[in-house]
A and B are shown apart, each in its own frame.
Chain A
Amino acid sequence: EVQLVESGGGLVQPGGSLRLSCAASGFTFNSYWMTWVRQAPGKGLEWVANINQDGSEKYYVDSVKGRFTISRDNAKNSLYLQMNSLRAEDTAVYYCARRNLEGGDYFDYWGQGTRVTVSS
């Protein structure tokens, strides 16, 4: 069974940093792109970043470029999101998801999410 479990969320002051983790199991982690998607309170879904299988390709939404870094450790079946210079508008539930390219391009499995609150 595919499982994605996020951790690392919490309350942080503006300008602070946080590192999110996503532990993957039930599939061959190093065969898939992975992604982070966030959802601000009461709002819709926003794609944040993608990373390819070996970590050599990374893409970000403009609003986090230069502040967030996506990475992975295939030996630990883990995905990460390092978030620096956090702003109030980064407050959201952050989901990790598996990107599947078989027959299309879609996010077929999602974690339960971890909540990040940026506030003084």
Chain B
Amino acid sequence: DIQMTQSPSSLSASVGDRVTITCRASQSISSYLNWYQQKPGKAPKLLIYAASRLQSGVPSRFSGSGSGTDFTLTISSLQPEDFATYYCQQSYSTPITFGQGTRLEIK
């Protein structure tokens, strides 16, 4: 199974900050990497697919990069609604696996 490791596990930041979350795969997954945002009590929401493609309707302050084993999610200027938990997910092989999550909190 491919293990996905996110860092940091939690992060405190302020509105307007630039934030980067990292996801590392235990083996190469090409660009089969997706990012989701989840707010408490809600279903996950797709932000980025195929490592760098912005899902329709997602604000352009979200961006993704990387390929192979190392990936990043960047929020260019944090907005109040961005405080949530973020998950990476690999779809390169079954079983599909998620990172453990990064909780983004207000400083």
Chain A partners chain B: yes
A interface residues, Cβ below 8 angstroms from B: 35, 37, 44-47, 50, 59, 61-62, 95, 100, 103-108, 110-113
Q: Which residues of A contact B95 (CB under 8 A)?
A: 47, 59, 61-62
Which residue of A45, A46, A62, A106 is within 8 Å of B50 (Cβ)? A106
Q: Are B101 and A47 in contact (CB under 8 A)?
A: no
Main secondary structure of the interface of B (DSSP, over half): loop
Task: Give every chain A residue within 8 A of B34 (Cβ-Cβ).
Answer: 104-107
Q: Which residues of B contact A44 (CB under 8 A)?
A: 87, 98-101
* CB-defined contacts of B13 to chain A, threshold 8 Å: none
Q: What class of interface size applies to chain B in its complex with A?
A: 20 to 34
A–B Cβ pairs within 8 angstroms, 26 of them: A37-B44, A44-B87, A44-B98, A44-B100, A44-B101, A45-B36, A45-B87, A45-B89, A45-B98, A47-B96, A47-B97, A47-B98, A59-B95, A95-B44, A100-B49, A103-B53, A104-B31, A104-B49, A104-B50, A104-B53, A105-B50, A106-B46, A106-B89, A106-B91, A110-B45, A112-B43
Establish whether residues B43 and A110, one from each chain, have CB atoms under 8 Å apart when the complex forms. yes
Q: Is the CB of A111 within 8 A of B87?
A: no
> Of residues 58 to 84 in B, which have CB atoms within 8 Å of A's CB atoms?
none
